[in-house]
Structures are given as C-alpha cells and as structure tokens.
Amino acid sequence: MNKKDDFITQITKRSEDFSRWYVDVIRRAELADYSPMKGVMVIRPYGYEIWELMKEQLDRMFKATGHRNAYFPLFIPESFLKKEAEHVEGFAPEVAWVTMGGNEVLEERYAIRPTSEAIICSMYARWISSWRDLPVLINQWANVVRWEKVTRPFLRTTEFLWQEGHTVHATAAEAQEETLRILEVYRTFAEEYLALPVIAGLKTDAEKFAGAVSTYCIEALMPDGRALQAGTSHNLGQNFSRAFNIRFENRDQELEFGWGTSWGVSTRLVGAVIMAHGDDSGLIIPPRVAPFQAVIIPISRGDWKETVLPEATMLQQELQAAGIRVHLDDRDTNTPGWKFSEWEMRGVPLRVEIGPKDIEKKQVVLVNRLNREKSFVSRENCVAEIGRKLDEIQAMLFERALRFRQENTRDAADSDSLADIIEKQRGLVRAAWCGSADCEARVKEKTKATIRVILEETPPSGAACAACGKPGKHMVLFARSY
C-alpha cells in the first residue's frame, strides 16, 4: 500500500471513537491543521471554501433584511470592556490582553476582541442622536480570540472566524422583533443550506449571553448524542446603551436610551456539517455548501486522453455554465479507483464517471455519495439530471439528520429517568422544569447536562419538574453539549 492509499484509509470508525474520527476527517480531507500555537488552527483552502460559501449565503440573507457590513477595531481598551459589568465578568476568564506596544508598556491594557459590543457601542454613541438615525443595522465579518482551555478544530478554538451583527432600535418591541428575525434567518440557513435540523428557542438566564436581557439560539443534535449550539441572537435591552450612553431624541423630543441586539454564527458551523453528515469513509458535504458539488472522473483506459478526456472536459464546461461547482480530476498519477476513494473521503456529493463504454452508449454514470447508489443517465440529459440529483441529496441529508434527532429525543418525568437517559442513551431529553436556577444547576451537577433551549410548548397538565417534583412551568430540552 503506498502513502496515498494509506492517507485515504486511515480514518477511525465513528463507532470506535467519535472524537478521533472527527479529527481524522478534518486532517485527511485537508480542511484544517494545527498551528504552532496551541489551540489555534490553520484553515486550509478546502475548509475555507466551505466557510466562504456559508458566508456568501448568510451575507445575502443579512442584506436582504436591511443590514450593511462594516469593520471595527480588533483592540478594545480595558476601560471600554469594563463599562458593562455583567459583560466583562462573563468574558474575563477568556480575554487575551495586549500589555506592550513595541518596547513600551501600555498605559492601558487592550483586550483582543472576544466580542465587539463594547467597541461598537462606543461608536454608536457618537453616531446616534435622533430617532431619524434609527434603526442602525450593522454586521461585521471578523476574527475573535477567546482563551479556551480545551480546544477542538472548528468547534472551539482560541481564534475563530465569525460574523457579529449589532443593531440599535427606537423601541423595545423593534429590538425584540430584530432578535427573532435573525433567529429565523439562522434557522432557515441551517436547515436549507447546511441540511441541519435545528430547534430554535430561548436560553435560560444561566446560559444566556453576558450582558443580554435574553438570548435565543438554534440547537442541533450531533451523532454522538451531544447538542451543539449553532447560532445565537441576543436582545440586549438598554443595558449597553446605558453603559455607553447611546441616547436619542425621540419623536416627542425627549431623550431616551436605544434598544440593542447582537447576534452571531461562526466557523463552528463547519464542524457541525462535518459531524452531522459524515460517515466512516469521511465527509459528506451538503451540495449547497460543497466546494465541488460534482467531480468528474474519466476512466483512464487505452488512449483515454484522446477519447474520454475531451468528452469529460466538454461536460465540465456544460456543468459550469449551468452554475454547478464541478471539478475534473484528470490526473494520470492515480487510478480511477483511488480517485473514487479520495473524493468520497472529501465528501463531494456526486461522482460522475465517464469511460470509453459510456461514450459508446452515450451515457454517464452518477454515484450518490450519501448512499453510493449508481444511476446510468443519458449524456444528453445528464446536466439536468445532475442538478436534480444534487437537490435530492440535499433533501436526503436533512431528512436523515431530522430522523436521527427525532429517534434520539426522549421524555423524562423525574430526576432518575433524566439521568439514566443522559448517561446510557444520550441525545435530547424533553422534560418539565419549574424555572428554578437551583434545579437547573442540580441537574447539571448530577448529569453534566444543561438546558439547551426552553420550548414554546407548555407542560401537560400535572407535569412535574424533573429535578424537584414541583409543578412544571416550562418544557425544556436537556443534553450534554459541545
């Protein structure tokens, strides 16, 4: 076995060690690599292309709802970060500080952006003076640094890429409407583009963003039974406006503080796609965010460069003209079988095989990455059929992930059954909760599971809190999480 064969086959089985499988896939598929600095990853081109496709679609969705992009500084003066007490307390353990500028000790430390509420609100205080200036709807694409103790590529790293929206409104109702509007954008994006079924809802006070009045999120279930928070939208109320003096003259010529929101998703979404859809052979990338939606592999027999390759090149051009991201693997250094394995490992949704016999029969062979199903399609109709197959794969991935979540969501009536499910079966546990922070903390201490989201449904009549047995006020989902 040569080194290239070894490269493709050395992936730990998911059933043996899910965490090891995850890292193996990232490195074998060349999505990312470890940098010389602990906890910081290098995103390689293939991985970055997935993020770029996510970014481009989200950017379109933000702009369609009236938001514009800007950029704010990476460095935040310590005095700014301290203005909102709950905010600085929440982020203090993760902040990286700059104390030297060249050879000189700085008079004031600078935080390397863990999030941008402080620096952005300081600018909004300058820009906003009247109700005519509102709403302010700004997003930025940036990197942030949070000094994490335990890291894992894409899911939790010291430095990561994200977008963060920051808005100011004239009323509390408008801020709440914005918070829920973005939550719906995130839900739509996750389900329609990442094929990732999510549950959208409210976080508990213990789990909300530091400095927010309320935090909403989208939660997804991963194949190892852990939940993953995939995006958050925060209603900041007037907390940051009061801290940074963001005031405006309303229509009655009275001064009042603005109502704020902030929201974000990050490169964690790449990790979510890897875990949610991959298998023992490697990645399976949803077509709508796949760098290559199809790969054409010419069967290299005889004088294939004179016979098969020209036909493959023509097909590539036709697919590109139809808006399909396609790669033609015309390397003559590897066998077709090796290429099949490599592109399967890299998660390309659809493989297109074309050889001398296919040219004779005026057909191509399509292979679905998800179920490896082969279909023989006429050359004349293959472009349209490839487009249809990609839509089919996208839908199949979502349905498979949704079915997994449904099969791994269970009900618990009391503390013992909740703990038993978390320990033996994992997944999401639906239970009633009395609303007490003590009960929430007690479950976390006993099971290492947290309330991932408060559901909109009300508890059934007579339902008791799974932690204390008192009447349940909310239905919630418990799970261990990333």
Q: What is the DSSP string of 435-456?
A: S-HHHHHHHHHHHS-EEEEE-S
Contacts of 199 (CB under 8 A, 6+ apart): 218, 219, 220, 452, 453, 455, 477
DSSP string, 313-348: HHHHHHHHHTT--EEE---SSS-HHHHHHHHHHTT-
The DSSP symbol for 121 reads: H
DSSP string, 127-193: H--BGGG--EEEEEEEEEE---SS-BTTTB-SEEEEEEEEEEESSHHHHHHHHHHHHHHHHHHHHHT
Cβ proximity of 200 and 183 under 8 Å: yes
Q: What is the pLDDT of residue 85?
A: 73
For 182, the token pair is 């973005």
pLDDT above 80 (res 5): no
| pLDDT digits 0-9 by tens, 373-397 | 999 999 999 999 999 999 999 999 9
Query: For residue 258, which of 87, 77, 137 has the smallest C-alpha distance?
Result: 137
Cα–Cα distance, 167 to 366 (Å, whole number) = 47
52-111 pLDDT, tens per residue? 999 999 999 999 999 999 999 999 999 998 887 777 787 788 999 999 999 999 999 999
Res. 3: pLDDT tops 50 = no
What integer pLDDT is reported at residue 1 of this predicted model?
32
- Residue 303 confidence (pLDDT): 86
Share of the chain above pLDDT 90, in %: 92
pLDDT in tens, 111-126: 999 999 999 999 999 9
H or E element that contains 235: strand 227-237
Please give the Cα distance from 300 to 282 (Å, whole number): 25
Instruction: Decide if pLDDT at 446 tops 50.
Output: yes
pLDDT recorded at residue 110: 96
Predicted confidence (pLDDT) per residue in 387-441, tens digit: 999 999 999 999 999 999 999 999 999 999 999 999 999 999 999 999 999 999 9
- pLDDT tens digits for 308-350? 999 999 999 999 999 999 999 999 999 999 999 999 999 999 9
The mean predicted confidence, pLDDT, of the chain is: 95
**How confident is the model at residue 82, as a pLDDT?**
87
Task: Identify the sign of the CA torsion 330, 332, 337, 340.
Answer: negative
DSSP 36: S
The most distant pair of C-alpha atoms in the chain lies apart, rounded to whole Å, by 84
Give the tens place of pLDDT for each residue, 158-204: 999 999 999 999 999 999 999 999 999 999 999 999 999 999 999 99
- In the CATH scheme, what architecture does the domain 409-479 have? 2-Layer Sandwich (3.30)
Sign of the four-CA dihedral 166, 169, 175, 177 = negative
**pLDDT tens digits along 224-257:** 999 999 999 999 999 999 999 999 999 999 999 9
Do 3-72+119-277 and 292-391 agree at the fold level?
no
**So what's the pLDDT on residue 10?**
82
Q: Kindly state the tokens that stand for 117.
A: 């509420």
* pLDDT band at residue 265 using 50, 70 and 90 as cut-offs: very high
CA–CA separation, 94 and 148 (whole Å): 6
CA distance 393 to 234: 34
Cβ atoms of residues 343 and 361 within 8 Å: no
Handedness of CA 85, 67, 159, 454 (dihedral sign): positive
> Is the Cα torsion angle 58, 60, 65, 69 positive or negative in sign?
positive
Name, in order, each residue with C-beta under 8 angstroms of 89's C-beta and a sequence gap of 6 or more.
Answer: 210
Among 248, 297, 267, residue whose Cα is nearest residue 41: 267
Q: Is 383 left (phi over 0), alpha (psi -120 to 50) or beta?
A: alpha
Q: What are 33-52's pLDDT values in tens digits?
A: 999 998 999 999 999 999 99
CA distance 160 to 146: 9
Q: How far apart are CA 94 and CA 127, in angstroms?
A: 30
Return d(Cα 204, Cα 456) in angstroms, integer: 13
Which residues 6+ apart lie within 8 Å of 344 measured at CB?
A: 281, 282, 351, 369
Helix (H) or strand (E) holding 383: helix 382-407
The angle that helices 304-321 and 382-407 make with each other, rounded to 10 degrees, is 70
- Its CATH architecture, for the domain 3-72+119-277, is 2-Layer Sandwich (3.30)
Burial class (CB in 10 A: 0-12, 13-18, 19+), 235: buried
How large a percentage of the chain has pLDDT more than 70? 98
- pLDDT for 300 equals 84
Element (H, E) at 80: helix 78-81
3.30.1330.20, 3.40.50.800, 3.40.640.10, 1.10.10.10: CATH of 292-391 = 3.40.50.800
Angular region, 120: left φ>0, alpha ψ -120 to 50, beta rest? alpha
Give the per-residue pLDDT at 6.
41
Question: Buried b / exposed e across 150-173, counting CB within 10 Å, b at 16+?
Answer: ebbbbbbbbbbbbbbbbbbbbeee
- Count CB atoms within 10 A of the CB of residue 68: 11
Domain boundaries, given as residue ranges, for the chain: 3-72+119-277, 292-391, 409-479
- Can you tell me the distance from the alpha carbon of 273 to that of 256, in angstroms, rounded to the nearest whole number? 44
